[in-house]
Amino acid sequence: MSHEPLPPLAPSAPKPATWRFSRGDRADGHSLPEAFATVHVPDAGAPWLQRFLAFVGPGYMVSVGYMDPGNWATDLQGGAQFGYTLLSVIMLSNIMAIVLQSLAARLGIATGHDLAQACRDHFHPALNIVLWLACELAIIACDLAEVIGTAIALQLLFGIPLLAGAVISVLDAFLVLFLMNRGFRYLEAFVMGLLGVIALCFMVQVVAASPPLASVLKGFVPSPAIVTDGRMLYIAIGIIGATVMPHNLYLHSSIVQTRAYARTPPGRREAIRWATWDSSIALLLALFINAAILIVAAAAFHATGHQDLAEIEDAYRLLSPVLGLGVASTLFAVALLAAGTNSTVTGTLAGQIIMEGFLRLHIPSWARRLLTRGLAVAPVVAVTALYGDRGVGQLLMFSQVILSMQLPFAVIPLVMFVSDRRKMGEFTLSPPMAVLAWGVAAVIVVLNGKLLFDTVF
């Protein structure tokens, strides 16, 4: 099912080997050509901190997907229903995310092409269509969470009905277009600014919740009940699906190439090192925020008899009275709006990368955004009309399980490529790292198999 093998990188060559492209590709073959190598990297003689800061940004853009509104739904339900038990799942999923995102960065930097382009060149066209459809479904599911989160935040803060909020969320396409036209660094600064807002909001709420430290630490120790309790396992898999985003692997393998590092083996080696540090530090921030959401839910709702809490709106209404902090609910809604807005930026870029990589189809980012957002708004409108606002919360939770089901379609090709010396040359994974990567892929496949079996039977 594979085409002819792709040439490896030649360590001694001044110009590294690239992946073979079929006739009809763009002449430059670059992922996100309008942003390729546009961010300046200081010369080799510059201080290490200055060079590292030049690579800071893509990791934080990727981390957005690990704290989007979909995470809120699963984290809130997990904390309210099961206390601190599922903190271990958040930690496990974050470790998996750090490993997988480092692999995505390695692939993009070592080969010069993103994961979608790599799949297109390696797999049979029929299989590529399947992979593309699976990834598009994941983006729509992620966008669905963003629509719902943004609409709920607008309703909580300004009293705008959910249907109107969902329609208003379409306008963020123009925000993305504006930022892209200013330059990729402006896009990264906008994202990092909103991440700071989210972190500050939850820092205040965790302090106000005053959770018992012993219970929190115990929650980071895995419990057998997570696997044996079907309800807990369903939410646990939802947390993994909401945390490890399949489209983020495509996104990261592309946006690391926005740096103007030397396209030589030493330059790529340094770029891989700094990009890995960038994403690992950023994902530790995502770990803090996801853990904070669950900790606040456990302290505020599970410990006070509100274990049946299932909706973000319920959390908003109860948070201030339970914590005794009048601003707590407002901070919660502001952070939710920031998370929804941030996720739209990365969703747009991921959609563009996937469409160009798999189909060689380039359309304007605003048109791509309106198309994806339109497909996501439709089910929100339908569910709200049929089942009311309560149905939207269930739809949000279901979207995260859909995301989890799409993970193997991105993870397995990624691990396969970075473990193949014919494609990666000297940048191939070491045997211990390859074992770890395949172990992560196996865990994801087993968990998704369990979820599918329980759902069907």
Residues 210-264: tens digit of each pLDDT: 899 999 999 999 988 888 888 888 788 777 766 677 888 999 999 999 999 999 9
Using 50, 70 and 90 to split pLDDT, how confident is the model at 1? very low
Whether residue 96 is predicted with pLDDT greater than 80 in this model: the reply is yes
Judge whether 4 lies within some domain.
no
Better-predicted residue by pLDDT, 14 or 91: 91
* pLDDT tens per residue, range 23-72: 333 335 787 788 888 899 998 788 999 999 999 999 999 988 787 777 77
Better-predicted residue by pLDDT, 427 or 230: 427
Better-predicted residue by pLDDT, 191 or 307: 191
Mean pLDDT calculated for residue range 285-305: 88
Distance CA 440, CA 96 (A): 6
% of the chain at pLDDT higher than 90: 32
pLDDT of 43 reads 86
Distance CA 174, CA 179 (A): 9
pLDDT of 145 reads 73
Using 50, 70 and 90 to split pLDDT, how confident is the model at 413? very high
Better-predicted residue by pLDDT, 377 or 411: 411
Distance CA 58, CA 207 (A): 30
Name which of 168-172, 365-369, 437-441 the model is least confident about. 365-369
Judge whether 8 lies within some domain.
no
Domain count, the chain: 1
* pLDDT tens per residue, range 99-149: 999 999 999 999 998 999 999 999 999 999 999 888 888 777 777 777 778
DSSP state of 86: T
Using 50, 70 and 90 to split pLDDT, how confident is the model at 372? low
pLDDT of 312 reads 77
pTM of the full structure: 0.84
Distance CA 59, CA 50 (A): 17
Torsion of the alpha carbons at 122, 125, 127 and 132, rounded to the nearest 10: 90
Distance CA 336, CA 284 (A): 19
* CATH code where residue 364 lies: 1.20.1740.10
Judge whether 6 lies within some domain.
no
The residues, any chain, with a CB within 8 Å of residue 134's CB and separated by 6 or more, are 246, 406, 409, 410
pLDDT of 390 reads 62
Asked if 279 and 105 count as a contact pair (C-beta separation under 8 A), the reply is yes
pLDDT of 3 reads 46
Using 50, 70 and 90 to split pLDDT, how confident is the model at 348? confident
Judge whether 168 lies within some domain.
yes
Judge whether 1 lies within some domain.
no
Mean pLDDT calculated for residue range 408-427: 92
H-helix or E-strand containing 186? helix 184-209
Domain interval for residue 359: 66-456
pLDDT of 389 reads 60
pLDDT of 375 reads 66
Distance CA 360, CA 353 (A): 10
Both tokens assigned to 20: 């073979």
% of the chain at pLDDT higher than 70: 84
Using 50, 70 and 90 to split pLDDT, how confident is the model at 457? low
Mean pLDDT calculated for residue range 372-400: 67
Judge whether 342 lies within some domain.
yes
Judge whether 270 lies within some domain.
yes
Judge whether 82 lies within some domain.
yes
Whether residue 299 is predicted with pLDDT greater than 50 in this model: the reply is yes
Closest by Cα among 236, 231, 211 to 299: 211
Using 50, 70 and 90 to split pLDDT, how confident is the model at 12? very low
Using 50, 70 and 90 to split pLDDT, how confident is the model at 8? very low
Distance CA 210, CA 298 (A): 11
Helix axes 246-255, 125-158, angle to 10 degrees: 100
Rounded mean pLDDT of the chain? 82
Using 50, 70 and 90 to split pLDDT, how confident is the model at 456? low
pLDDT of 32 reads 79
pLDDT of 33 reads 82
Whether residue 7 is predicted with pLDDT greater than 50 in this model: the reply is no
Half-sphere exposure of residue 417: CA atoms within 13 angstroms, side-chain side:
33
Whether residue 16 is predicted with pLDDT greater than 50 in this model: the reply is no
